[in-house]
Structure 1
């Protein structure tokens, strides 16, 4: 995929994000974003930074209130913004795989029945019919809920089950824009999930020399230091909400930089993580893509990001590794010529 085509794809998806969100961000009112991802997964931090980048670039705004799952306060939100919409962080936790996030989402709908609530782009997956019914009741009771989804299957599911406004929208990480990578040090790097969304236990014995990693390992000391630096940069502000946002933003930047540095080491990449795919597009690195446990990666690529020369939808792990090795060899050969 030529650089210009990659840049065009990123620009097109950012424009599509704006089309979905432009009418939901009021010029004169404050807004909140809830469920900050204070977790090790670099992909969730990429989504958060895309959300911040979109608000700043398109609307010149910063949220008046942000929270994590465990420090949310309805009273503090009301105090920080007596009016205005509430946004919920995007990702892949709409459903019952990651139940705490769904419980929180439905609690927000119950607490703020008269506020506009916008769910930023999500992939949907449920295993329990009872949990679908519970979510449908919570959504149906709310007067002004907008659900943005990242793939056609999620939209079809939401159309069948939920009584709310539903839109198809790209992942918010594309609002970050192109990212400059570091120089590669490995021909092929495998970035494979080790959590509950992994597609299965991969047998890697046939490739003993292949570096296999995930990007959910981090240094707590580094995260705490980044939060402290963020807090120090906001000390001139007397508003607790701005101090909190500066700390959380700094943590997200720290995680995102770590993730970009990690995947940049591969001249080519093999992955089953959606945001390794998205970040590989942002840095312009060829990569073979496997699906996660429930089709999230395949579904997103079908809706928005498939069909480029930079990404190859592998039929199996072996197929993906063979493709990545071939491409890495071709790149090295051209560089040596």
Structure 2
């Protein structure tokens, strides 16, 4: 049904629909695919993206991944032995650039060594602090015969056009494929989920007195072991559930983490967003989620 004037926008449903269109551009029922760069680290947001990617890929193809790899165990020879119609999908997120070099090195390795089949970069944010590194990557992109780039915000799309010499399609973060999540009872008036890593910006003066300040970069007890695709999925699920429990503690949330914002939306938690050090969060809100009554931009 068409939306009537004044009716709230369901930003979650809109982004799930956009993701469905994106994935069906590259895959159909029965398609073979490899999903590369499993997030083998504690950051909850990357696990949310991975699980959203799996949910969407299963819905479109009806298949499990034919190949899964992390940045540290990627095997180009194993991928080369797979059927020629296998689509190579690179995990989405916020590591296209030079802030997180392990993941960028893997991306460049794949584009250099895997040239006999399509390579699709699932939605990313782009940020290079060194334009020489961007120029080097642009050369790698230009040399690949079948690379498709999707980005999560308009500044990333503009950067791709201006510095990488390629068109980048605008698409939502794949975590939205998870849909609404169950919220547990709150135990704090305000939970501040704030970055403590390389993308941190100092927001100390922006936080009100009494806010419970946390981050989600340490795994909790009971993380499943193993390196099989099913074990990797259990690890991602364990991390996602930890993040959902953490955010649920706040009656309201303030965060400078993009997936603090995204998971708060999926949980139905009112929240305020601050930006990371290069504007990734604000750019995403402007592109996709500003219409939600649950979110407001904090100064």
TM-score range, shorter chain: over 0.9
Other-structure match for 1:104: 106
Q: Is 1:121–1:147's contact at 8 Å kept on the other side of the alignment?
A: yes
Instruction: Indicate how the Cα distance of structure 1 residues 83 and 57 shifts in structure 2: closer, same or farther if over 3 A, else same.
Output: closer
Aligned match of 2:4: none
Identify the residue that residue 217 of structure 2 maps to in structure 1. Answer: 216
Return the alpha-carbon distance in structure 1 between the equivalents of residues 60 and 24 of structure 2: 8
Q: Which deviates further from its counterpart, 306-315 or 85-94?
A: 306-315
Deviations 1:219-268 (A, max 9, x none): 3x521xx235xxxxxxxxxxxxxx71101000000000000001000000
RMSD: 1.8
2:228 to 241, 244, 251: 244
Distance in 2 (alpha carbons) for counterparts of 1:22 and 1:118: 12
Aligned to 2:49: 47
Given the alignment of the two structures, is residue 288 of structure 1 paired with residue 272 of structure 2, yes or no?
yes
1:204 Cα deviation from its structure 2 partner: 7.7
Say if 1:65 and 1:81, in contact at 8 Å, map to a contact too: no
Could you give the per-residue CA deviations for residues 10-40 of structure 1, whole angstroms, max 9, x where no partner exists?
Answer: 1111111122221211434411010000111
Aligned counterparts of 1:206 and 1:291: Cα–Cα separation in 2: 17
Q: 1:147 touches 1:165 (CA, 8 Å); kept in 2?
A: yes
CA distance in 2, matches of 1:11, 1:178: 9
- Provide closer, same or farther for how the CA distance between residues 5 and 52 of structure 1 changes in structure 2, counting only shifts above 3 A: farther
Q: Is the 1:188–1:266 Cα contact (8 Å) retained in structure 2?
A: yes
1:136-163, Cα deviation, whole Å (9 max, x unpaired): 0000000110000000110011112234
- Secondary structure of 2:225 counterpart: helix
Aligned position for 1:142: 144
TM-score by length of 2: 0.93
Q: Answer with 1 or 2: which has the greater Rg.
A: 1
Task: Trace 1:190-205 onto structure 2 (pairs within 5 A).
Answer: 190-200=192-202, 202-203=204-205
Q: Structure 1 residues 266, 146: closer, same or farther in 2, change over 3 A? A: same
Cα distance change on mapping 1:205 and 1:285 into 2, 3 Å: closer
What does the per-residue CA deviation read over 1:88-145, in whole Å, with 9 as the maximum and x for residues that have no partner? 0000000111112111101101111121000000000011121011000000000110
For 2:280 and 2:26, how far apart are their aligned partners in 1?
26
The size of the alignment, in residue pairs, is 293
Match of 1:222, SS? coil
**Closer, same or farther: CA 201–189 of 1 in aligned 2, 3 Å:** closer
Deviation at 1:9, TM superposition (A): 1.8
Contact 1:144 1:164 in 2 (8 A): no
SS in 2 for 1:227: coil
TM-score (norm 1): 0.83
The Cα of 1:203 is off from its aligned counterpart by: 4.5
> What SS does the corresponding residue of 2:216 show, helix, strand or coil?
coil
Range that drifts further, 15-24 or 108-117 = 15-24
Q: Deviations over 1:150-209 (max 9, x none)?
A: 0011001111223445200000000001101101111111110000101126248962x3
SS of 1:143's equivalent? Answer: coil
Unpaired stretches in structure 1, ≥5 consecutive residues: 229-242, 316-337
Report the structure, 1 or 2, having the larger helix content.
1
Tell me which residue corresponds to 2:68: 66
The CA deviation at 1:75 is: 1.9
Unaligned runs of 5+ in 2: 1-6
Q: Are the aligned partners of 2:95 and 2:103 in contact in 1 as well (CA < 8 Å)?
A: yes
